[in-house]
Structure 1
Amino acid sequence: MIAYLSHDQVNSTLARRIAQRLDLGLMVLTLKDAEQAISADLLVLDLDSLPSDTRSKLFLRVGSGELRSGVAVHSYHLTAAEARTLLAAGIRVTRRLTATVLVQRKLIAA
């Protein structure tokens, strides 16, 4: 199961379309539903749609080693240093949501 955390309706719709086209299990969540993401095989975060304090908490969790592999983010607004930090923690980083963000995990798990 893939959990997609976003507050952007356009990206949420795109994620649903990609998942449906590729026959992937997907649940679209907002911050208030984030606890449900714990059981997901892959957590994809739309960083541009999340509040800045949530983004800050993400980097704190990365710094403490709390986040596991199986996390991907997309954002147009990450600095190079932020992207390097996430990549070093094993988090997949892309500028925008594409099918490869969701498919890569499926191929690894297969």
Structure 2
Amino acid sequence: MEDSTPAGTVGVTPVESWGRALDALEAQILIGRQLAEGRSPAVLAPWSEPTDLGPFPAELLDRARELREQQQGLLADLPEFIGRIRKQLSLTRKVSGATSAARRPVYIDHSA
């Protein structure tokens, strides 16, 4: 009989492995929210889709739905955040252009 337990999950229940996967997803949602609000988030590794977790446990379904709602809320807010960033960038460019001196040559070739 062949063992169908995914590598690295010996002794780990589906609730534990899926719980960790949901924790990682929640951390990424938090980072997205912090970035969108102009705050510097803690640096985490990029999220990647988990594999070999087995069937999804019914007891985590409410948490998964809540995380999905948080993701959808963040996605819905992105156009507003992008608009705000564009305005800030435009203002920054205007201020920079108005306050920086024109570039002048430092060396002049008198032999020409």
> Highest CA radius of gyration, 1 or 2?
2
Q: Give the structure-2-normalised TM-score.
A: 0.25
Name the structure with the higher helix share: 2
Higher strand share: 1
